[in-house]
Amino acid sequence: MTSLLSAKPIDPQDRLIVALDLPNAEAARALVIELGDAVVFYKIGLELFMTGGYFELLHWLVGEGKKVFVDLKFFDVPETVRSAVRALAGSGATFATIHGNQAIMEAAVKDKGNLKILAVTVLTSLDRGDLDDLGFSCDVEKLVLSRARRALAAGVDGIVSSGLEAPMIRRELGDKLMVVTPGIRPVENKPVDDQKRTVDVAQAFRNGADYIVVGRPIRQAANPRQAAIGIQQTIREVFFPSGG
């Protein structure tokens, strides 16, 4: 069987993105300081955006030598999305998410500079019943693959996709798109929160993810730094099973 393991030249430590879904920027800074050199890459999303200090936190993270994933899922008329991406492009952020149709994706990549644009396929909090409520008659896998193909055609750098659909994307599209997988749980999924389509760390990468996003399993751990170190060790073992 052909390996789905990412062959992209990414430092293993960079493959873990920690979600700073916290009540305020001060709490986010405190967690970053606590995690120290165990984590290089951070995601900052809507919760922090609404509490103030979002861009100050972004600039502080960049100044600390961290990589930043701006997860605001830009969704508006295409020209507005283009302008928003253009404004963000000089911030030092590494990734940014967009949501929407072909025209929105095409607009987002026009003035992105070095910023990598990720298109959201289907949120990992949604399952078949949720898609029915939203009026999508196709199954999750078909919808994800359709959106991934459209993202590729639009010139988007990558997609955000559940680890359950990542193998299908890799088999259909190869390494043409970067795959970022959220909803990671440290053990086999038994849904106890709002994430429904999840996988564990090792399986996410074996399914073809380039990066994983981990939030609660680190933030809510008794020792967040040790939890992050444990995940980093798992990542290294997946990519270098012989200890290389």
Catalytic residues: 73
Categorise residue 92: left if φ over 0, alpha if ψ from -120 to 50, beta otherwise: left
Q: Phi and psi of 213, rounded to 5°?
A: -110, 125
Cα separation, 225 vs 219, in Å, equals 9
Q: Distance of CA 99 to CAs 96, 112, 239, Å?
A: 10, 15, 31
Q: Phi and psi of 184, rounded to 5°?
A: -80, 135
Q: Degrees (nearest 5) of the Cα angle 32, 37, 39?
A: 60
